[in-house]
Structure formats: structure tokens, C-alpha cells
């Protein structure tokens, strides 16, 4: 189930010109060299979707809040700009105002804008024909796992509200500690869990009153004894088992550089798990630098004629960052990841020839 359809952003951090990304798929990959705004785009999409989720929850509560207020707060705590001022998100190029328009799956849109002097309120805001999120959930997986720093996140965000960890970490912590739900899982989700168990050797992350543990058979390890990649996999497994990531009502999953701390074999299995998510009705967005991940997703898109999209971000002199969108089912277009892989292959050929 596709929830998001398009994104237009202008004068947003590195994007001085308007980025016009249309026809989002069930799985969407963002690539680009360092400092081209990959994570910024991922966080922008997440902040808007999570604000909509929070709005749906709080509307039924004793203290409902307006959507512009929730969105402003989510942007500030997701990006942690200097002094938590929204205006710091406006590009320091020629433009004076940031504008964003997010297209929804029913031809609706959510748009907002503000200038460089904006501190904490969004006054320029429109919501047109955007359905309530209600049961739909948005989850963000940052590159670093949260389990080793669990107590630090709780202390700084819940105890003192210090801007040490952004909302992608704090929200994930809250999602992770939700209790497990009994019942049968959808086939695609079971397949995804099987991919993860291939990496962990059948182990699982367990949360109890004594702390967080990695349990495999009769062996039990604390988080400091557990490999980084295993912890990342364990987080995902728990999010599936507590139904935070579920295709039943439509969900959004954002993953920033999933290949971090994973062996190439685990990266391939992770790609296949993301494919299972997308095929089951969960809309996936991810960033990557990994040729293994990108190539496997392209192969899966071609094999299944899937609507997977690729957004290639390139920095242009005097124009900021521009994006080139293609469909993975049509093959991998030329891009810096492929170019570097070919460069290494060419060097091997030269060495073999004694050049």
C-alpha cells in the first residue's frame, strides 16, 4: 500500500533549486555522494508522516494539538538545527524561503513553508484531502543501533530533554519497547523474519525488567557482548513481532544506510527482507552507499516487475543538489556507486596484465 506519492522541496538545506520527485514506489532508494542530502530527505519524509501519525493519536486524547504545531516540533527534534530554530533548515543559497509539498496516495497533499527567521512555528501550512494516519505507522531506523545507548537516550530525552539524540533515535526507542503481540504473522513478514534469523543464527533480542539481552538457544548476552549488526537485526525483528512494522493497515519504513555494520551476505539478506516488506504492503524508503544492496534490489525489481524507484542525488556547481529519478525494474543507470565498482575491476585487469 503506497501512502506517499511525490515530494517537492525548494530551498531545503542542500536543495537550492526545487527537487521534484514524482511517482514514488512501494520501495524507494536514495543514493548520492556524501553531503548531497540523502538523510535530510529521508528525515523530511519521516517527520511529516510521523507528525500525521501523532496528530491522529492526539486528536482522540484529552489534549489534542494542531497539526502545524506537531509538525514544527517534529522537524525541530528530528533535524536538531542550531538553537532548535526551524529557519536553520532554509538553504543558505539565494532563496529566502523553504517550501515543501508532499503528495498523498489519494491525490491529497500536505504543504508548508517558512523563512530563515522562523524559530518554532509554521504559519504557512495547507492540508488538502490527506487521509488520517490512524492505524498507519511510520518507523525510522538510523545507521547506529539504539540498544547500546538505550539508557543514555532515555536519560537525555525523558529526564532532561537535552538535544543529544534526535527523534529518529527517541521514536525508535519508544517503538522498540512496545510489548510483543501474539498471533499469526503474515507470510511475507514470516519470510522477512526468516531472512533475519539466517543472520543471527536464530537468536532474538529480549527486553525484560533486568535489561536488554540477545538470546540464542540457552545462551544469553548483554548488549555490550553483542555484535552491532546483530543488534540492528534484532531491533527489526522485535518491531515486526510487536506489530510496529505491519502490512495489515499500511506502514512506512525509513532506513538510513542499512548496510552499516553488516557483512555483504547479511546486506543481501537485508535487501531481500526489504523486498518482502514492499511486496506485503509496507512502503519502504532507504539510503545506501552499498553496491551489494543496490544491485540486489535492482535484480528483485527486474524479476518481479516491481515499482521500485531510484533517486540519484548529484551536486551541481552553483545550483545545489539535483535529483534524477529512475525505475529499478528498467535496470541500474550509470551512477557513482557503479563507477567506483568498475574502477576497481579495471584496476584488477591492469594488474593481471602487468600494466
Quick check: 52 pLDDT over 80? yes
Question: What is the tens place of the pLDDT at every residue in 55-69?
Answer: 988 877 777 789 999
Is-contact 226 235, C-beta < 8 A?
A: no
Average pLDDT, the chain: 87
The larger pLDDT score, comparing residue 206 to residue 51, is at 51
Is-contact 142 172, C-beta < 8 A?
A: yes
Return the pLDDT at 9: 94
Is-contact 34 280, C-beta < 8 A?
A: no
Measuring CA to CA, how many Å separate 322 from each of 87, 210, 248, 307, 316?
22, 49, 35, 22, 7
Question: Pairing relation of β-strands 282-287 and 27-32?
Answer: parallel
Question: What is the tens place of the pLDDT at every residue in 96-152?
Answer: 899 999 998 878 899 999 999 999 999 999 999 887 766 789 999 998 888 888 888
pTM of the model: 0.91
Quick check: 43 pLDDT over 80? yes
CATH topology of domain 4-146+163-178+247-352: Rossmann fold (3.40.50)
Quick check: 352 pLDDT over 90? no
Quick check: 195 pLDDT over 80? no
Return the pLDDT at 70: 95
Return the pLDDT at 94: 62
Locate the domains of the chain by residue range.
4-146+163-178+247-352
Give residue 347's pLDDT band: very low, low, confident or very high (50, 70, 90).
Answer: confident
Amino acid at each position: 500500500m503506497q501512502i506517499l506519492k511525490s515530494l517537492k522541496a525548494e530551498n531545503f538545506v542542500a536543495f537550492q533549486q526545487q527537487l521534484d520527485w514524482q511517482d514514488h514506489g512501494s520501495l524507494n532508494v536514495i543514493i548520492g555522494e556524501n553531503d548531497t542530502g540523502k538523510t535530510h530527505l529521508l528525515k523530511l519524509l519521516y517527520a511529516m508522516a510521523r507528525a500525521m501519525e501523532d496528530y491522529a493519536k492526539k486528536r482522540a486524547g484529552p489534549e489534542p494539538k494542531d497539526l502545524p504545531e506537531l509538525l514544527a516540533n517534529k522537524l525541530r527534534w528530528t533535524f536538531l538545527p542550531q538553537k532548535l530554530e526551524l529557519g536553520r533548515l532554509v538553504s543558505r543559497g539565494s532563496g529566502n524561503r523553504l517550501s515543501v509539498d508532499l503528495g498523498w496516495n489519494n491525490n491529497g497533499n500536505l504543504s508548508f513553508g517558512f523563512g530563515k527567521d522562523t524559530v518554532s512555528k509554521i504559519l504557512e501550512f495547507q492540508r488538502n484531502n490527506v487521509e488520517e494516519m490512524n492505524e498507519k505507522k511510520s518507523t525510522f531506523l538510523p545507521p547506529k543501533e539504539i540498544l547500546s545507548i538505550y539508557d543514555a537516550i532515555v536519560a537525555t530525552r525523558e529526564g532532561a530533554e537535552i538535544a543529544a539524540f534526535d527523534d529518529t533515535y527517541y521514536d525508535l526507542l519508544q517503538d522498540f519497547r512496545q510489548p510483543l503481540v501474539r498471533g499469526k504473522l503474515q507470510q511475507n513478514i514470516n519470510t522477512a523474519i526468516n531472512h533475519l534469523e539466517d543472520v543471527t543464527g536464530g537468536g532474538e533480542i529480549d527486553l525484560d525488567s533486568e535489561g536488554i539481552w540477545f538470546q540464542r538457544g540457552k545462551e544469553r548476552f548483554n548488549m555490550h557482548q553483542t555484535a552491532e549488526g546483530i543488534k540492528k537485526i534484532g531491533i527489526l525483528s522485535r518491531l515486526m513481532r510487536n506489530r510496529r512494522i505491519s502490512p495489515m493497515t499500511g506502514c512506512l519504513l525509513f532506513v538510513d544506510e542499512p548496510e552499516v555494520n553488516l557483512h555483504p551476505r547479511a546486506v543481501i539478506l537485508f535487501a531481500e527482507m526489504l523486498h518482502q516488506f514492499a511486496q506485503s504492503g509496507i512502503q519502504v524508503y532507504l539510503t545506501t552507499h552499498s553496491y551489494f544492496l543496490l544491485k540486489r534490489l535492482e535484480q528483485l525489481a527486474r524479476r518481479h516487475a516491481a515499482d521500485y524507484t531510484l533517486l540519484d542525488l548529484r551536486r551541481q556547481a552553483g545550483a545545489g543538489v539535483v535529483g534524477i529519478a529512475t525505475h529499478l525494474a528498467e535496470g541500474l543507470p550509470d551512477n557513482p556507486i557503479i563507477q567506483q565498482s568498475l574502477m576497481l575491476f579495471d584496476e584488477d585487469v591492469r594488474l593481471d596484465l602487468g600494466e
